[in-house]
Amino acid sequence: MSESSLGYPDGYEEVIKVGRPPNVVHLFPNSKALIVSGKYIDRAMRKKGGAIAMAANGRNQFVIRGALRGAQRANAALIIEIARSEGGASAYCAVNYWNIARQVDAICNELKITIPVAIHADHYGIKTPDDVAPAKVEIPTLFEAGMTSIAIDPSHMPDDQNLLASIELYPFVPEWAGFETEIGEIKGKTGLSTVEEALFLIQGLNAHDIFPDWIALNNGTTHGIEASGQGIQVDLTQKIHEALAPFRVSGAQHGTSGNNSDRLREIASKTRTTKANVATALQMISWGLEVNDYGNAIMDEANHFKKVKGQGVTEAMWDAMVAYAKENGLSGGNFKKLNLPFENRLLGQPVDIRDRMVKRVEDFVYDMLVNVLNSEDTAPLVLADILEVGSHHPGAKVGRIENPNDWTTEKIKAKAETIVSDKGPQGDFED
């Protein structure tokens, strides 16, 4: 019986055999789920051109299931991710760094999902130099648990410390894994990133044989439900991506929930962005809240979320969630902290309720992939690339350009002192 008659694309068995990273093979030796390095997802978007992979933050199981179903419908490569604040040691979600790959693999096999999926550790935050030593212990455990990609994010620190921390931690990331770096905390119109900052980080990494797949910028967005005063600064993003062109690093767009679909289409068509994080929107949609066309929750006159009757969770469950939030002083974007205490209660709802939660996410994800991010039909590009390379590791997109002698610790610190930038105010930018 042929692969296609069983519902699998041609060549799928070979792709499963050679394309899954060793940690995934070890954990799931008999799996039919195509969990791949984030590097392959980036390359598929670049090959199609003007395409961005959705990186869906799987804050609950309904988001994960819905995102996988939506991507399967769109025949699109997908990234499922969880950030350190969401799923780290002090998590506010039941889905975490150490169980997300297991959930994705199980759901893929259950639903016969065949699109390629990367599992990404988003925003592994390094807030101070003291965070580096424990990170050397913890980061390997993420890959032992099935991660295939990571964003090491020391962007909260000065430029030299950001670079030096990234250099020090990179040896703890498998060479085959997708790798994202970041400059500038994501905090809206303040502290916008500059060409100089981006070049400093990427050049310094390159000199140390570190070739990131993505760079995240502060290009005007915010996390959560709030739209910034400016939204994505397309022109700024273009300038930075053009400056980085020799290094072939792609862009990662954070804070998509506060930007309309037209702005996201513009960032897809006019920049080298290949990854867009979508977190809060998917969570709100799964619960059944009223959202606009790009997933930002709509508030009523009293600044309360509006629940759509007959969508998402039951009205009784939503009342319980609102009551819990009020009792614990949670409002606005901090409703995200309902994920952990309510995950099991939500999983205990009747099947028709669970299904409508998933379906709502599925429909939103499908529409965004096809009509906004232009990533429809990128799944076959990944399969073809894996078959051509014949390995789980596609290799780096570029080699060393910079002279290591120009990027010693002392010279890094000296170069950083010459950078002119405004980081903006510090704050609680946990995601």
Sorted by sequence, the CB contacts under 8 Å of residue 145 that are 6+ apart come out as 27, 97, 98, 99, 100, 101, 102
> What span, in angstroms and rounded, lies between the C-alpha atoms of 81 and 279?
9
- Report residue 74 as tokens: 């769109």
Q: What local confidence, expressed as pLDDT, does residue 229 receive?
A: 47
**Which of the four pLDDT bands, split at 50, 70 and 90, describes residue 7?**
confident
At residue 226, the pLDDT reads 45
How many whole angstroms from its chain centre is CA 325? 26
Q: pLDDT category, 277, cuts 50, 70, 90? A: very high
Q: Give the pLDDT band (50/70/90) at residue 297.
A: confident
The DSSP bridge pattern shows strands 53-57 and 178-182 to be unpaired
The C-alpha atoms of residue 162 and residue 124 are separated, in whole angstroms, by: 13
Domains in the chain, start-ordered, CATH in brackets? 22-409 (3.20.20.70)
Query: How far from chain centre, in Å, is Cα 338?
Result: 21
Q: Is 127 in contact with 430 (CB distance < 8 Å)?
A: no
DSSP 46: H
Contact 232, 303 (CB under 8 A): no
* 264 or 82, which is more confident: 82
Helical residues (DSSP H) of 170-230, grouped into ranges: 195-207
Q: What is the pLDDT of residue 301?
A: 87
Cut 0.75: pTM above it: yes
Alpha carbon 354 to chain centroid distance?
Answer: 24
pLDDT over 70, % of the chain: 91
Rg (CA), the chain: 21
Eight-state DSSP code of residue 23: H
Burial (CB count <10 Å: 0-12, 13-18, 19+), residue 130: exposed
- pLDDT score at 189: 56
Distance from C-alpha of 170 to C-alpha of 172, rounded to nearest angstrom: 5
> Average pLDDT of 398-418?
97
Is the pLDDT reported for residue 28 higher than 50?
A: yes
pLDDT in tens, 32-58: 999 999 999 999 999 999 999 999 999
Q: Is the pLDDT of residue 2 over 90?
A: no
Mean of the pLDDT values across residues 149-173?
A: 96
Candidates 73, 34, 41; CA nearest to 55 is 41
Helix, coil or strand: residue 303: coil
Residue with tokens 């273009």, as numbered in its chain? 238
Q: Which residue has the higher pLDDT, 10 or 313?
A: 313
What gap in Å lies between CA 301 and CA 322, rounded to an integer?
16
Distance (Å, rounded) from C-alpha 312 to C-alpha 354?
A: 8
Average pLDDT, the chain: 92
Between the alpha carbon of residue 115 and those of residues 8, 65, 180, the distances in Å are 10, 13, 22
DSSP character string of 262-289: HHHHHHHHHS-EEEEEE-HHHHHHHHTB
Q: Are the C-beta atoms of 125 and 85 separated by less than 8 Å?
A: yes
pLDDT in tens, 341-386: 999 999 999 999 999 999 999 999 999 999 999 999 999 999 999 9
Gap between the Cα atoms of 327 and 142, Å rounded = 34
Tell whether the torsion through CA atoms of 143, 146, 151 and 154 is positive or negative: negative
Residue with more model confidence, 142 or 253: 142
Find the DSSP H helices in 372-408.
379-389
Residue among 138, 169, 136 nearest 152 (CA): 169
Residue type, 178: G
DSSP per position, 331-371: -GGGGGGGHHHHHHHHHTS-HHHHHHHHHHHHHHHHHHHHH
**Helix, strand, or coil (residue 203):** helix
Contact between 288 and 305 under an 8 Å Cβ cutoff? The reply is no
pLDDT band at 6 (very low <50, low <70, confident <90, very high): low
